[in-house]
């Protein structure tokens, strides 16, 4: 019965029915075990979309770039889904930043679907359901899924591990300290963008990125791919075409080298392990009032250590019998 409903929804979503897509998204985001058959059906129908992660520090002009890039990709006839995880993103309903006009143009285009999603914690990681949402768009026939996230904390690493192509956006005029931070995340980029390229100090930022790329350890993520550094101006439409072409070229390159198969397997392995961890965490949460508080009392009294208590907890929640 439910299986039938999910195929209906999926068929309607593929036919471009926006309400069906929205309903599927709500289902996968709920995390309800009752929707497992639907998740299986969605996952089975997915596997064609190009998932592109776009990350950068606040103020790097990421959201405006995503809007400009989306318009370009739409120009080639492909459908684009945007998942905005950046809490400061202009899509999130509250404050509207960036240029209103372009956002409105996107909002009126039935070939663009924008979904805002919460981050899991203050700074931490993709929320439950983000990758299932990618599957929904993929299964519904969106050729490109852009995941926009703020370049702070765990999000950008998670996005890089979930995406087929990762774009890191920098803005000119960032100080030395920020460059040092960037050094830590340099290796996740398949493509570097320096936004606001019309600013006088943009050339220096581009030169610094080139220098860091040539000095640092060669990214082992994909052999035979030279990470490009692209200067863009979303307002003046500079470099956006070039960025789209680089993204498409990277996609082709991963297919030619066979790297796409490795990436897909890595993504699947991570998703499997994260899903299992989530099930365990849920089981813990439901344990709150019973054994957990008893164990905590013993910990507070230092009658047992956290690891020994953890072993007892796992024994007690009987993972195996309920999943």
DSSP code at position 51:
E
Query: Contacting its own copies (CB under 8 A), which of 109, 143, 248, 312?
Result: 312
Rule CB under 8 A: say whether 15 interacts with its own copies.
Answer: no
Distance of closest approach, residue 156 Cβ to its own copies, in angstroms: 8
How far is the C-alpha of 57 from the C-alpha of 75, rounded, in Å?
A: 28
For the bound state, the minimum distance from the C-beta of residue 285 to its own copies, rounded and expressed in Å, comes to 9
Binds its own copies (CB under 8 A): choice among 174, 212, 238, 260: 174
Shortest Å distance, C-beta 309 to its own copies: 5
Residue span binding its own copies (CB under 8 A) among the ranges 62-70, 75-83, 236-244, 271-279:
271-279
Q: Which residues contact 272 (CB under 8 A, 6 or more apart)?
A: none
Instruction: Using the minimum distance from each CB to its own copies, give the nearer residue, 103 or 174.
Output: 174
Please tell me the distance from the alpha carbon of residue 4 to that of residue 10, in angstroms, as a whole number: 10
105/267 with CB nearer its own copies: 267
CA separation, residue 300 to residues 97, 181, 308 (Å):
47, 38, 14
5 binds its own copies (CB under 8 A): no
- Selection from 25, 137, 131 nearest residue 79 by Cα: 137
**Is 26 among the residues that bind its own copies (CB under 8 A)?**
no
Q: Is 57 in the site for its own copies (CB under 8 A)?
A: yes
Binding residue for its own copies, selected from 84, 152, 169, 197, defined by CB under 8 A: 152
36 counts as binding its own copies under rule CB under 8 A: yes
Strands 165-170 and 144-150, sheet pairing: unpaired
DSSP summary character for residue 126:
P
Q: Is 221 left (phi over 0), alpha (psi -120 to 50) or beta?
A: alpha
């Amino acid at each position: 019965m439910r299986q039938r409903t999910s195929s209906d929804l999926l068929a309607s979503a593929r036919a471009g029915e926006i309400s069906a897509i929205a309903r599927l998204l709500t289902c996968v985001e709920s995390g309800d075990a009752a929707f497992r058959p639907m998740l299986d059906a969605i996952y089975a129908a997915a596997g064609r979309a190009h998932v592109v992660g776009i990350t950068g520090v606040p103020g790097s002009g990421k959201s405006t770039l995503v809007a400009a890039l989306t318009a370009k990709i739409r120009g080639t006839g492909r459908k684009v889904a945007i998942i905005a995880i950046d809490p400061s993103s202009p899509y999130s309903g509250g404050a509207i930043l960036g240029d209103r006009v372009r956002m409105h143009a996107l909002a009126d285009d039935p070939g663009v679907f924008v979904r805002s999603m919460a981050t899991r914690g203050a700074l931490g990681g993709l929320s439950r359901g983000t990758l299932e949402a990618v599957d929904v768009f993929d299964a519904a026939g969106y050729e490109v899924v852009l995941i926009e996230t703020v370049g702070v904390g765990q999000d950008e690493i998670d996005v890089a591990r979930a995406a087929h192509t990762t774009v890191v956006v920098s803005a000119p005029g960032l100080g030395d300290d920020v460059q040092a931070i960037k050094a830590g995340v340099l290796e996740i980029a398949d493509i570097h963008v320096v936004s606001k390229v019309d600013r006088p100090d943009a050339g220096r930022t581009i030169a610094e990125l080139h220098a860091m790329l040539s000095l640092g350890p060669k990214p082992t993520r994909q052999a035979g791919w030279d990470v490009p550094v692209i200067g863009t101006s979303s307002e003046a439409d500079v470099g956006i075409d070039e960025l789209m072409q680089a993204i498409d070229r990277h996609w082709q390159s991963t297919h030619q080298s066979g790297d796409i198969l490795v990436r897909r397997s890595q993504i699947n392995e991570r998703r499997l392990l994260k899903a299992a961890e989530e099930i365990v965490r849920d089981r813990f949460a439901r344990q709150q009032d019973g054994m957990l508080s008893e164990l905590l009392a013993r910990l507070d009294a230092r009658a047992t250590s956290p690891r020994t208590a953890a072993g007892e907890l796992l024994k007690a929640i009987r993972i195996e019998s309920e999943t």
